[in-house]
Chain A
Amino acid sequence: MSNENKMPKKNILSAQIDLSKFELATEEEKRQQDVMSESTTFFKDGMKRLRKNPLAMVSIVILILLLAVILISPKVVPYSYQDIITIDGVRDKTAKNLAPFQYSKMEQRYMAKGEKVFPHIFGTDEMSRDYFIRVVYGTRVSLTVGMFASVIVLIIGLIYGSISGYAGGRVDLIMMRIVDIIYSLPDLLMIILLSVVLGDVLGDKIQNTIFAKLGANMLSLFIVFGLLYWVSMARLIRGQILSIKSNDYVLASKAIGTKSGRIIRTHILPNCLSVIIISIALQIPSAIFTESYLSFLGLGVQAPMPSLGSLANAARSGLTSYPYKLFFPSMAIVLIVLAFNLLGDGLRDAFDPKLKK
């Protein structure tokens, strides 16, 4: 028997493989054997799960659409949120309380001349202003308030929570007692109280500054949010940090003499990221809720500037005749809050490792 592969034949009964019966694998075949999937990160993994959640994806699409509408339409629609509709340079006072896609007498005469008039998609309000653009600006204001408030809450809560959680011991105890007390304050009542007072106090002080355009009520809204709403975020981040702090890689980092600030930034905060993202997504709708609530009580944004809450409030007086005026801003609030809530739930399911299947 010829031994082509120069393999010594030890024993006739041995289970040694006869290599002549085998072929060398080609490169392609080798690649087929490679069953390892691409390495994935925590973020990619979460996104993959999020993409499988239809409700969350629909929410994202709705939010993107809404964002597109409120960004683009002020450039397309030739009306402004604070001025009476003008035709040919003349103020059109006949355009009060028009139904959606209805034209005033002046506009009809103007159109009869062959000119074009942009339709009032949502009709007009009691001061002859285009209602669509007002709802668009109201949505802008409400969304901005929601986002800004969440950012303020995040920044304060993040700093406070990470210091408290990282420092531990007596510092932690004192800081958490303060949080406990603020947490047990009835937040909405305090917000109403502070908005009333701050609105009155700030009114004179901010004149002729950049804040004047924002309005005292809006500013006090942010201040109040900054003062009261950060506590739950601080608690959340502290809890997260306490559990991450006890990990070995933090100990290792400490052992090689890394400074505390750097440990927080490079090791601890990135691991809190999922919790932070989820709570922001859920914080925005709650801020929008609060803002619309305050606007409804007349403590929200300054007069010509609309917000969804103040639009809904203004629509109450003409409810019998013009129900659509209530319908549009209400729909916008519900849509935004619903989308953010569903997105937040989806994010939690996708990113919270505790709920992983």
Chain B
Amino acid sequence: MTKLQIKEKIVLNKYVIKRIGLAILTIFIISLITFFTMNAIPGGPFDSEKATTPQVKAALEKRYNLDRPITEQYVLYMGNLLHGDWGVSIKTGREIWPTMSQSFGISAQLGGVAILVSLIFGIILGCISALTRNTLPDRLIVFFTTLMTSMPSFVLATLLLYLFCIKLGWIQVWSASSHNYILPIISLALYPMAYITRLTKTSMLDVLGQDYVRTAKAKGVATWKVIFKHTLRNALIPVITYVGPEIAYIITGSLVVENIFTIGGLGQKFVNSITNRDYTMIMATTLFLAIIMVIANLLTDIAYKVIDPRITLD
């Protein structure tokens, strides 16, 4: 390794450490916000409709450590979290983690496929748009993406549901017997796809104007090789930066989309816990999803810096 490489490595390591530090701090702050806002709600979790005697209430509060001072409660909660104990739902009385992990599996599948679909189609459409600039295909793609970025996911999901399930009857409405992921995936993937298309297009156009692309063309390199080897590989670097925010978008989008298509994923559980005012469940889910988002952003940022050495690190 040359001296320069070693120096670059040190800078990169420093950046990674700094970024991880910020992520941990963010998660800590999120946990503080969730814990203390949840505790700001008037009325304890055991002031339910069912009449509980003071003794029973006291016993329950002792069981869940609610008789301790709030700061101590927070420390206990965080300690339990680190052991994988997410607490107990105050509405159902069940452990949160089994429900959460199970429903998260469904959501993760759905979201993962949506991300893949949006990336693949977004990049393809972006390339077509950049290569056929200012002609009909490009204009159609631009029109389509502009429309898509102006449509909230719930509007899109309900329209799709109405069109394909009710009006045309092509796809069965989601039920216990028929699981069809097509519509939920489309409604989750279209907005990020439109965004990726735009991103790929601008970045492609930028790279196509670079000197090395002209050199490759002048050398007589085949067109497809210029596009795939010289242009696309470099044009995709900015697209990577969007994967982190996209995961955040998919997670929040799945809250409504899962509800519309009645998929029993984490999004639906979360919204149900909001309507039921199941505070411990809200808290656990918020924290869980927030941690995923922060980690996704962290990985995206680091991947971006590692892949593109031209990015200056401060």
Nearest-neighbor residue (CB-CB) of A188 within chain B: B252
Residue from B155, B275, B293 within 8 A of A189 (CB atoms): B293
The size class of the interface chain A forms with chain B is: 35 or more
Residue of A nearest to B156 (CB): A330
- Which residues of A in the span 11-54 have a Cβ within 8 Å of any Cβ on B? none
A167: Cβ under 8 A from any B Cβ: no
Q: Is the CB of B293 within 8 A of A186?
A: yes
Q: How close is A341's CB to chain B, nearest CB, in angstroms?
A: 6
Q: Is the CB of A342 within 8 A of B146?
A: yes
User: Would you call A186 and B290 a contact (CB within 8 A)?
Assistant: yes
Q: How far is the CB of B75 from chain A (nearest CB, A)?
A: 21
B155–A334 touching, CB < 8 Å: yes
Taken together as a complex, chains A and B put the C-alpha atoms of A313 and B153 apart, in Å, by: 12
Asked if A60 is at the interface (CB within 8 A of a chain B CB), the reply is no
Given contacts A181-B25, A197-B37, A337-B150, contact A297 B155 (CB under 8 A): no
- A285, B150: Cβ atoms closer than 8 Å: yes
Interface mask (A307-323 → B, CB under 8 Å = 1, otherwise 0): 00100110110011001
What is the bound-complex CA distance between A190 and B285, given in angstroms?
Answer: 11
Write the chain A residue with the least CB distance to B260. Answer: A316
Name which residue of chain B comes closest to A285, CB basis: B150
A303 in contact (CB, < 8 A):
no
Given contacts A184-B294, A196-B274, A297-B255, contact A326 B42 (CB under 8 A): no
A347 to chain B, nearest CB (A): 15
Partner-binding segment picked from A131-139, A260-268, A273-281, A288-296: A288-296
Who on chain A is nearest to B39 by CB?
A: A197
Using Cβ atoms and an 8 Å threshold, which residues of chain A touch B158? 312, 315-316, 319, 326, 330
Contact B40 A197 (CB under 8 A): yes
Tell me the complex Cα distance, A152–B95, Å: 41
| Cβ-based interface call for B59 (8 A) | no
Instruction: Report the separation of the CA atoms of residues A180 and B21 in the bound assembly, to the nearest whole angstrom.
Output: 12
B154 contacts the other chain (Cβ, under 8 Å)? yes
The reply to whether B22 and A180 form a contact with Cβ atoms under 8 Å apart is yes
- Secondary structure dominating the interface of B: helix
Return the chain A residue nearest B149 by Cβ.
A341
Please tell me the number of chain B residues within 8 Å of chain A, measured between CB atoms.
44
Q: Which residues of A contact B149 (CB under 8 A)?
A: 341
| Whole-angstrom distance between the Cβ of B206 and the nearest chain A Cβ | 13
Tell me if B290 and A297 are in contact (CB < 8 A): no
The answer to whether residues A338 and B289 also contact, given A197-B37, A298-B275 and a CB cut-off of 8 A, is no
The reply on B106 being an interface residue by CB < 8 A is no
With both chains docked as a complex, state the minimum distance between the C-beta of B100 and any C-beta of chain A, in angstroms.
15
A window 69-97: CB within 8 A of B = none
Cβ < 8 Å to B, chain A residues 179-207: 180-181, 184-186, 188-190, 192-194, 196-197, 200-201, 204
A-side contacts of B297, CB under 8 Å = 184
CB pair A197 B290 closer than 8 Å: no
- Chain A residues contacting B41 (CB-CB under 8 Å) are 197, 200-201
Give chain B interface residues in 240-276, CB to chain A under 8 Å: 248, 251-252, 255-256, 260, 271, 274-275
Q: How far is the CB of A283 from chain B (nearest CB, A)?
A: 15
Question: Taking the complex as formed, is A237 at the interface, i.e. its CB lies under 8 A from any CB of chain B?
Answer: no
Q: How far is the CB of B276 from chain A (nearest CB, A)?
A: 11
Interface check A299, CB cutoff 8 A:
yes
CA gap between A41 and B150 in the complex, in Å: 33
| Contact between B274 and A189, CB atoms less than 8 A apart | no
Task: Flag if B33 contacts A192 (CB, 8 Å).
Answer: no
21 A-B pairs in the complex with CB atoms less than 8 angstroms apart: A181-B29, A184-B22, A184-B26, A184-B297, A193-B37, A196-B282, A197-B37, A197-B38, A197-B40, A197-B41, A201-B41, A204-B42, A309-B152, A309-B154, A312-B155, A316-B260, A323-B167, A337-B150, A337-B152, A341-B146, A341-B149
Task: Give B residues with C-beta under 8 Å from A.
Answer: 22-23, 25-26, 29-30, 33-34, 37-38, 40-42, 146-147, 149-152, 154-155, 158-159, 161-162, 166-167, 248, 251-252, 255-256, 260, 271, 274-275, 277, 282, 286, 289-290, 293-294, 297
- Given A186-B30, A186-B294, A297-B255, output 9 extra A-B contacts at Cβ < 8 Å: A189-B290, A193-B34, A196-B274, A297-B271, A298-B274, A298-B275, A326-B159, A333-B152, A341-B146
Q: Nearest 6 A-B pairs (CB), nearest first?
A: A338-B150, A337-B150, A186-B293, A188-B252, A330-B155, A197-B37
